[in-house]
Each structure stands twice: as structure tokens, then as C-alpha cells.
Amino acid sequence: MLSSAVDHSAATVAEELSDRLRLLHRLKSSRRLSQLLAAPLSDEDQVVQPMDDASPTKWHLAHTTWFYETFLLKPHLPGYREYSPDFAYCFNSYYESHGKRQARNRRGLLTRPSVDEVRGYRAHVDEALERMFVSGFINDGLDGLAAIVELGINHEQQHQELLLTDTLSLFDAQPLHPAYRTPAPCRDQTRHDGDAAFIEFPGGIFPVGFSGTGFCYDNEEPRHDALLQPFRLAHRCVTNAEWLAFMDDGGYRDPLLWLADGWSAINANGWDAPGYWHQRDGVWHQMTLEGLVPVNLAAPVAHVNYYEANAFANWAGKRLPTEFEWEIASTGIAAAGNDLGTGLMRPQPAADGADGELTQMFGDVWEWTSSAYLPYPGYRAAPGALGEYNGKFMVSQNVLRGGSCVTPPGHIRRTYRNFFYPHQRWQFSGVRLAEDAA
């Protein structure tokens, strides 16, 4: 009996150690990826803020580091030495309970601390994180602290996507339209002639929201039932070719297609095409992370906001799916696609490769839904400062599903709820159409 108990105990310790090592490996890999994504940028590139929605690369690198220092190291690692008390003001994002901070629209004014100091900050915190695993972390509340590490990894993955979308915004604002990376060989641009097929799904009462093991954000819970009427979903996303047809047919000039706020927004901003589209000698080009290139007609349209997505759906005689229609339709489809894992070689939306099968559900572009970003029945924000992560933003925004070409691999789930204001379009946001089946 004693031998059996010892063997069981040894196996448990080995399993827990393995879990710790896997978590440490994921943490270090995530931290390295941020540095890798910043590597093509000069120090000058990393300081500039092109618009209020976008943040400088330096800020992303420092903020994700501040997150670990604030929520893990300072309260839980004995003897931890804070890198600089001034950094909390500079690199806090929206955590009101952690004090005053630099306004979001003024992050580009932070020439100090320098990019070099931020690199030193990251190295300082990374060393302390590893020390926490090797020493006190194992014996000090693994379950609770592991959850903070897991949240930190996913938080940094969100900022890795933002780092790239914000870099695209920065380079589009420059007259030389520089490339973030050297263009890879062109992908096929011919698959845009056929109409999208609409796949039918039955109505009924379906469980929605996160279930099972592993990580999720609190806004994906609690799991609950949703009533759906029969519906059809387009097998692929709307393409650039289809969006050009909408433009050529006067889509941006017809007020009957637009919500009132959307009509006001396009007139106030002079929008007559998706974000980052530019006409050169009568030909539409699109700013990408590979520079300014002719629009790929076969690829999903990207950088359109909710107002534009809704207007296009009206023009097409369709509608946008609800977030639960999207979630139920994606059942059984692997949460993988053209994301940052495949897109490091070519970080752009790509043409679909299937005829009549549900495709592009994950990766390529975030897909607008008609659903308002609201709490699920029974939702309660987490206590303390981490409760500010999602809950307080549940107003005046819409849900997007599916991830994009710059979403880090392994970050997306079927139940993942992204959310943006209806006027925002600097993200890789696109459109999949739906219609009633009854």
C-alpha cells in the first residue's frame, strides 16, 4: 500500500511538473513572438501613433510586460523589485483601479522611456517570471497563479494582433507606403467568379458559450441555451470582387442601404471604399503589410466596419448572421485556418479553396455579426482589477467571430467573442452573409 501511494504521488508530481514546464514554455514562446513581430521595425517606427485607435509598438511591448508585473510579480513574487514606478502611469491601459495613466490618444507622445528601456523592462520581467516558476511559483498557489499566467499569455496574443494591425495603420499613413515585410510569392487571384453557396442549418434550441476544459475569456460564459430559427450561411466570406460590384453600383451613395449612424459616418469621413484602398491610375490598390499592392479580387474584403457590412448585406438582399448562428454553424470545424501561424509568410486574407463547403470560418478576417456585445445570462465580472478586462465594455459594440490572418495560432475558439464599435475598421474585419431559411 505504501509503495502504491508513493508511486501515485510521484506520478502526480511528475504530471504537475510537466504542466508547469508546458506553461513556462508557452509563456516564453509568447514573449519571444512579440519581440519577433517587432524586429522588422525601426525604433522610430515603434514610437509613432497614427490614430487614436492604434497604439505604438513600443507601448504594446511595454503594456503586456506591465500586465505581468502588476498582476503576478508584484503581488506574488517575494522580493520582486519593480523596474520603474513611472511605468505604471505610462503603460496602464484602462485599469481604473490601478490609478491614473497616459490617455490612449496620447500614447505616441511617450518618447521616454525609450524603446531601449522597454527592451530592458521586458528582460527584467521575463527573468523574474522564470524565477517565479523555478522557485516560489511551484509552491505558492499554482492553480490561481497559473490562471493569471494563462490570461497573460492570451492577453499578449491579443496585443500581437494589435501590433500588426496598428503597424499597418502607421505604414498606410506614410507617403512612401513602406512594407512591413518582403512580399512572398503571390497567391491565386482567380477564384472570384462563382457566387457564394448558402448552406442551410435547422432551427432549434442550442447550447452556446464555452464548455469543457482549457482557457476562455469570461465573456464566453456562462453556457446557456439560445433559440435559433432555420437559417442559411454563405459558404465563404464576401470577396473584394463582390465589394467592387457594390461600389460600382453606387453602394456608398445610396442612403437607403445605410443605417442612419452609418450614413452620417461615411459622409463625415469621406469613405467610399474599404479601409486602406487607394486608386492609382484608375486601378484600386490596397495597403497591406507587404506594401501597396493591387487589390486581390479573390480574397475576402477586409477593413470594413459594421455600418459598411450591414449596407453591403442590404444591397445583396441578405443580412449579417447573429453570433449564435455563426457559432452553431461552426460546430465540428477545426479552429484553424489562415492565421498568423500560416500568415507569417504572407499576412493577408486569402482566397477560399473549397466549392460549396463551409470555409474561412477561422482566420482570414474577423466576421461582423448583427449581435450586440452584451453579457450572457448569469454573467458576473471577476472580482478586483481583472474584472475590468471585458465586462465594462459590454455596451454600444458589436460581436465579431472567427479570427483573422494576424491572429496568433492557438488563440481562437469557436466561442471567442471579439468586439468593436460599429465605426471601427482598422482591424482585419470582413463579412459573411446570412439569410432566413423559412
Report yes or no on 19 lying in a domain: yes
In this predicted structure, what is the pLDDT of residue 344? Answer: 64
Report yes or no on 177 lying in a domain: no
Question: Residue 157 burial (CB < 10 Å; 0-12/13-18/19+)?
Answer: buried
Q: At what angle do helices 260-269 and 306-316 cross, to 10 degrees?
A: 120
Together in a domain, 153 and 246? no
Report yes or no on 189 lying in a domain: no
Report yes or no on 182 lying in a domain: no
Together in a domain, 249 and 395? yes
Report yes or no on 70 lying in a domain: yes
In this predicted structure, what is the pLDDT of residue 342? Answer: 82
The Cα–Cα gap between 338 and 406 comes to 8
Report yes or no on 37 lying in a domain: yes
Together in a domain, 210 and 157? no
Together in a domain, 125 and 248? no
Domain boundary among 172, 189, 211: 172
The Cα–Cα gap between 374 and 23 comes to 31
Q: Give the residue among 381, 367, 371 at the shortest CA–CA distance from 433.
A: 367
Buried b (16+ CB within 10 A) or exposed e, 312-336: bbbbbebebbbbbbbbbbbeeeebe
Name the grid cell of 438.
Answer: 423559412
Domain boundary among 155, 172, 189: 172
Together in a domain, 156 and 218? no
Together in a domain, 269 and 345? yes
In this predicted structure, what is the pLDDT of residue 14? Answer: 55
Q: What are phi and psi of 63, to 5 degrees?
A: -65, -45
Strand order in the sheet with 198-201: 198-201, 231-234, 434-436
Q: Give the residue among 148, 209, 51 at the shortest CA–CA distance from 389.
A: 148
- The CATH number of whichever domain residue 322 belongs to comes to 3.90.1580.10
Question: Do 58 and 47 meet the contact criterion of CB atoms below 8 Å apart?
Answer: yes
Domain boundary among 137, 172, 207: 172
In this predicted structure, what is the pLDDT of residue 332? Answer: 93
In this predicted structure, what is the pLDDT of residue 186? Answer: 59
Together in a domain, 337 and 385? yes
| Number of other residues whose CB lies within 10 A of the CB of residue 253 | 11
Q: At what angle do helices 2-38 and 115-134 cross, to 10 degrees?
A: 170
The Cα–Cα gap between 420 and 238 comes to 19
Report yes or no on 344 lying in a domain: yes
Together in a domain, 264 and 341? yes
Q: Where are the beta strands (DSSP E) in 202-239?
A: 204-208, 224-228, 231-234
Question: Do 131 and 77 meet the contact criterion of CB atoms below 8 Å apart?
Answer: yes
Together in a domain, 212 and 338? yes
The Cα–Cα gap between 232 and 175 comes to 43
- Domains contained in the chain, number: 2
Strand order in the sheet with 291-294: 277-280, 283-288, 291-294
| Three-class SS state of 37 | helix
Per-residue pLDDT of the chain (438 residues; tens, 9 = 90+): 434 444 445 555 556 567 788 899 999 999 999 999 999 999 999 999 999 999 999 999 999 999 999 999 999 999 999 999 999 999 999 888 888 999 999 999 999 999 999 999 999 999 999 999 887 554 444 468 888 999 999 999 999 999 999 999 999 999 999 999 887 665 555 555 589 999 999 999 999 999 988 899 999 999 999 999 999 999 999 999 999 999 999 999 999 999 999 999 999 999 999 999 999 999 999 999 999 999 999 999 999 999 999 999 999 999 999 999 999 999 999 999 999 998 666 788 988 766 778 999 999 999 999 999 999 999 998 887 787 788 889 999 999 999 999 999 999 999 999 999 999 999 999 999 999 997
Count the helix, strand and coil residues of the chain and give each as a percent rounded to the nearest 5. 40, 15, 45
- The CATH number of whichever domain residue 101 belongs to comes to 1.20.120.450
Q: Cα 308–310–313 angle (5° rounding)? A: 110
Together in a domain, 249 and 373? yes
Q: What are phi and psi of 386, to 5 degrees?
A: -65, -15
Together in a domain, 239 and 301? yes
Report yes or no on 190 lying in a domain: no
Question: Do 55 and 157 meet the contact criterion of CB atoms below 8 Å apart?
Answer: no
In this predicted structure, what is the pLDDT of residue 405? Answer: 96
Together in a domain, 145 and 213? no
Instruction: Domain of residue 26: give its range.
Output: 2-172
